[in-house]
Amino acid sequence: MDARGVDSFESMSNIPKEERARLARSFSLELPRVVERTEPASDGSRKYLFVLDDGNRIEAVFMPMGERTSICLSSQAGCAVGCTFCVTGFFGAGRNLRPSEMIGQFHTVRREHAIPMELLNVVFMGMGEPLLNFENVATTLEILETQIAPKRITISTSGIIPGIEELAKLERRPNLAVSINAPDRKRREEIMPITRKYPLADLIDCLRRFPLEKGREMTIEYVLLAGYNDAPSDGAALARLIRGLHAKVNVIPFNEDPNLPPWMKRPTEEAIDDFVESLVDHGAKVTVRRSKGREIAAACGQLRGRGESIRRRDSSGHAASGNSRSGV
Ligand code: SAH
Ligand code: SF4
């Protein structure tokens, strides 16, 4: 599949015939194969599970958002960063996805819903850490940007400082979203061990240097864990930490999962409201990801995660029923 949605070299009429035949012998335009689609959630969101040619499984999410639609893509088949609240992190490192595999997710989801390009946003918020697959993600951006404006594309990162610095050098930069998730270094080290390599203070400095185009702001993502980082005082500390950054906070209530530590719970609606209020009182701009589909997207990896735990149970001799896959 190429950027124009053409799915065979034979149909690329702008390329000479012999060249087309040579390309067809050397490369593949095959799309990753969809093995499972969730039923649309109440807001129309749908999650797709793909299998790649080497058997790796990855996810993408279709998210209608009013006038526009977002497609959430995976950048790696797994993740080595190992955040303790993340199912993808729990299952560990995988390989980097090739540009064709990222573009393939995009076109497969887009085609099923026939959304015009000009109404699409693309977010690299699925499985994996996009800035640890920088070259392939940069190539994918170049391809996408032939049809989608960079301001419609967002890269979400756990705070890989050298990757953010590389991103800053791109001429056509996507939006930047950074998963901060804790109001201080100690707690961030506990739930995001990568903080030991890229300390929180250095990360915030790096964000202060990031060149933002006029009219744009970055996103600070904050996964809200009940009783851990959801106190109003944590909201105040977060607002102080990011003061002066041209940013909005996206509060993501934790999405529970059987593969994650049992103490990790989604806060009550009241606690979420109090946290948001505290952020706002301390001068932050805030959005909250409340609806089911958004949470599905935030916790990319959970659909594959269910399959993996089923496989594990299978190998230990306990037959898993197909029913355990239903009910996203
Ligand atoms: N690796 C990148 C992008 C993929 S994760 C990153 O970490 O930013 C996308 C978002 O999902 C991140 O903000 C992450 O903090 C959030 N997330 C991961 N697991 C989650 C869970 N169980 N519940 C809610 N949000 C989660
Ligand atoms: Fe990787 Fe992002 Fe999950 Fe952390 S939250 S383990 S960086 S995918």
Q: Which ligand is nearest to the CA of 92?
A: 2
> Nearest 5°: phi and psi at 46?
-140, 140
The pLDDT of residue 323: 27
CA pair distance 284, 243, nearest whole angstrom: 8
Checking if the pLDDT of 311 tops 50, the result is: no
**The three-state (H, E, C) secondary structure of 90-103, written as one string:** HHCCCCECCHHHHH
Atom of ligand 2 nearest to the CA of 89: 6
CB of 180 sitting under 6 A from ligand 1: no
The pLDDT of residue 17: 78
What tens digit of pLDDT does each residue of 286-299 get?
A: 999 876 555 665 56
State in Å: Cα 249 to ligand 1 middle.
Answer: 14
**191-219 mean pLDDT:** 98
**118-139 mean pLDDT:** 97
> Mean pLDDT over all residues of the chain?
87
DSSP, res 282: T
> Nearest 5°: phi and psi at 94?
-135, -160
Q: Which ligand is nearest to the CA of 192?
A: 2
State in Å: Cα 62 to ligand 2 middle.
Answer: 19
State in Å: Cα 115 to ligand 2 middle.
Answer: 28
The pLDDT of residue 272: 97
CB of 83 sitting under 6 A from ligand 2: yes
Q: Is 156 helix (H, G, I), strand (E, B) or coil?
A: strand
Q: Give 307's pLDDT tier (boundaries 50, 70, 90).
A: low
79 is catalytic: no
Q: Which ligand is nearest to the CA of 297?
A: 1
CB 113 within 8 A of CB 61: no
83 is catalytic: no
State in Å: Cα 272 to ligand 1 middle.
Answer: 17
CB of 81 sitting under 6 A from ligand 2: yes
The pLDDT of residue 42: 86
Checking if the pLDDT of 312 tops 90, the result is: no
What tens digit of pLDDT does each residue of 6-37 get?
A: 566 666 777 777 777 665 665 566 678 999 99
State in Å: Cα 126 to ligand 2 middle.
Answer: 9
**The three-state (H, E, C) secondary structure of 254-273, written as one string:** CCCCCCCCCCCCCCCHHHHH
Measuring from atom 20 of ligand 1, which residue has the nearest CA? 299
Between 1-10, 36-45, 60-69, 145-154, the lowest mean confidence (pLDDT) is in: 1-10
CB of 235 sitting under 6 A from ligand 2: no
Atom of ligand 1 nearest to the CA of 129: 1
Q: Which ligand is nearest to the CA of 78?
A: 2
CB of 89 sitting under 6 A from ligand 2: yes
How many other C-beta atoms can be found within 10 angstroms of the C-beta atom of residue 101?
Answer: 25
Q: Give 114's pLDDT tier (boundaries 50, 70, 90).
A: confident
Burial (CB count within 10 angstroms: exposed 0-12, middle 13-18, buried 19+), residue 114 = exposed
What tens digit of pLDDT does each residue of 250-271 get?
A: 999 999 999 999 999 999 999 9
CA pair distance 124, 112, nearest whole angstrom: 19
Checking if the pLDDT of 77 tops 80, the result is: yes
Atom of ligand 1 nearest to the CA of 298: 11
The pLDDT of residue 31: 75
CB of 133 sitting under 6 A from ligand 1: no
CB of 144 sitting under 6 A from ligand 2: no
CB of 129 sitting under 6 A from ligand 2: yes
